[in-house]
Structure 1
Amino acid sequence: MNARTYTSRALTVFFLTIGAAILLLPFFWMVSLSLKTPEEIFSPELTFFPGSFYFDNYIKAFQQVPLHRFLLNGVMVCGGILFFQMMFAVPCAYALAQRQFAGRTIVFGMVLAGLLVPYHVTAVPIFLGLAQLQLLNTYAALVLPFVASVFGIFLFRQFMATLPPDLIDAARVDGLSEMAIVWRIAFPAAWPAATTFAIFSIVAHWNDLFWPMIVISDADLATPPQGILFFRDEESGSDVGPLMAAATVVTTPLVLLFLIAQRWFIQGVTMSGIKG
């Protein structure tokens, strides 16, 4: 290794380390505050590490609000959304990638156009429709608007387009129906893309505060981000210690999910863009 290569790698590592530190600093500060006593939190001196680990904040977090209920709501909502998104996106992506039919290019163009439209734009008509169906303050109101994911269709389509046509033809020769090919051949082969999409979907809807604030007013149906708002008090102010403890509890499942699935996540992001 020559000096120029060594210097280039050292600078790369240095800037990556600085970038990672900047990104991780808010999370580190959140965990640090969750382990500090009230005196340390409001101390005029800035300390990055707690003087002693004060776990009572986590106990208070579950005592002040039904945090376990909010976490269960998050699991049910994210799980329901992901299940129906898979049921919808995978067959659509297979059709766009491996089937020939009139208007396929137009349909794929509409999918790409749908990626440019934020769901906030359609919030008002969807809200009015759910109100007419009397579905507000239900799990259905949190799940139904996100059943069809154009991003999921696009991601799976890009991955399934890399599947060799001979594999699909061999499955047809063996007598498999198109739906059997989708779920027994194409979907297992697209598992990295499924993992990638699952992470994107779960993170997006687990952290979503905009839509639950619109359609949910019942505390028993509150999602994790919405539940954290219950720590806010207009008169006495926020109880910072339990608030940071609750935020840590809500964030930890997402971090663990990514650490467990990071290999498939990176593979899915890389391979989904190989073939257009």
Structure 2
Amino acid sequence: MNRQPSLLFRLFRHLVLMSGAMVMLMPFIWMLLTSVKPPDEIFSSELTLWPQHWYFIENYSEALTRIPLMKFLLNGIVVTATIFLCQVSIAVPVAYALAKMRFKGKKTLFAAVLFCLLIPPQAVSIPWYLLMYQFGWLDSYMALIAPFSISVFGIFLMRQFFMTIPNDLIYAARIDGFSELAIIWKVMLPTAMPALVSFGIFSIVAHWNDYFWPLIVLNSPDYYTPPLGLVNFRNDDTGNDYGPLMAAATIVITPLVGAFLLAQKRFIEGITLSGMK
């Protein structure tokens, strides 16, 4: 009798979680099924989830041939990978200094990092645009990469993780003759791999899906990122061509889904151990 409420509670909890998961997954399921439907079923007045006729080859072939989608995907890989490498090369040493070193103004500097977390990127888009114009970097990879080469969120996340690492590990490395830079890259970074993976997921997803900033600084399709490239499926006369559009969107998000599934264990560890909620 005492176990019955517990069992009912667990069933109710799983039912709520499954319902929430379905709500979150439904747009992706709809996108995937729309990508394999013919146009008459997409625009049908009857609401049908499962396609009556499969239009997989036609929609995905048009998605890959109508626009240079592979070029846009390559641009996205170059931009997101370069941004992430720049962010890591700056965030890790700064986070180590804020977590393990003693110097004047340390608390003030960390407070400034926290304050920068409150500033949305859209608020500084105009100053960044003017700076890119002065440098002559508009319509180039530099315009996509330079404004995001420093991540205050990355500094905060890595600092929170470094705070959990015992100081004895650093003292032992110093006794062995390691310099501070060697400690950062050979001791602290391998130890902080879960936090690094977590930050990588956040960074790559954010910049892979970014539409706002590339729309402002790019004119040439040669530098289009995947979200900006999807706009090419819009027809001014007939509206969106939803079949190929959903097929292209499915191709664009597939690398993100795959990366998260491969790194989800490390991602959860990094969020948990760094104290993020």
State whether TM-score is above 0.5.
yes
TM-aligned CA deviation for residue 174 of structure 1: 0.5
Structure 2, gaps ≥5 residues long:
none
Query: 1:259 is matched with which residue?
Result: 261
Distance 2:55 2:97 in 1: 55
Map of 2:212 onto structure 1: 210
Q: Tell me whether 215-224 or 265-274 shows the greater mean CA deviation.
A: 265-274
Alignment partner, residue 16 of structure 1: 17
| 1:50 partner letter | P
Partner residue, 1:54: 55
Map of 1:79 onto structure 2: 81
1:94 shift after superposition: 0.4
> Partner of 2:31 in structure 1?
30
What number of residue pairs does the alignment pair up?
Answer: 274
Separation in 1 of the partners of 2:40 and 2:53?
12
Work out the CA distance in 1 between the residues paired with 2:226 and 2:134: 27
What's the CA shift for 1:28? 0.2
> In the TM superposition, what whole-angstrom CA distance separates every residue of 1:177-223 from its partner, at most 9, and x where no partner exists?
10100000000000000000000000000000000000011111000
Structure 1 residues 39-48 or 247-256, which shifts more? 39-48
CA–CA distance in 2 between the matches of 1:7 and 1:185? 48
Aligned partner of 1:194 in structure 2 is 196
The separation in 1 between residues aligned to 2:141 and 2:80, in whole angstroms, is 11
Q: How far apart are 1:265 and its partner, in Å? A: 0.3
Q: Residue 38 of structure 1: CA displacement?
A: 1.1
- 1:61-109 deviations in whole A, cap 9, x for unaligned? 1111100011000000000000000000000000000101111100000
Measure the CA separation in 2 of the matches of 1:137 and 1:180. 38
Shift in Å at residue 49 of structure 1?
A: 1.1
Per the alignment, in what secondary structure is the counterpart of residue 273 of structure 1?
coil
Superposition pairs of residues 176-255 of structure 1, within 5 angstroms: 176-255=178-257
- 1:140-159 alignment runs, 5 A limit: 140-159=142-161
Percent of residue pairs bearing the same amino acid type: 50
Whether 2:135 is the aligned partner of 1:165: answer no
The Cα of 1:53 is off from its aligned counterpart by 2.6
- 4+ aligned runs moved over 4 Å, structure 1: none
TM norm structure 1: 0.98
Matched letter for residue 111 of structure 1: V
- Partner Cα distance (1:240, 1:139) in 2: 30
Following superposition, the deviation at residue 226 of structure 1 comes to 0.3
The 2-side partners of 1:171 and 1:45 are apart by: 68
Q: CA deviation at 1:50?
A: 1.4
* 1:233 Cα offset (Å): 1.2
User: Quick one: distance in 2 between partners of 1:52 and 1:84?
Assistant: 47
- Could you tell me which residue of structure 2 aligns to residue 271 of structure 1? 273
Cα distance in 1, alignment partners of residues 101 and 24 from structure 2: 43
Q: Is the partner of 1:44 in helix, strand or coil?
A: coil
| 2:225 partner amino acid | T
TM-score in terms of structure 2 length: 0.97
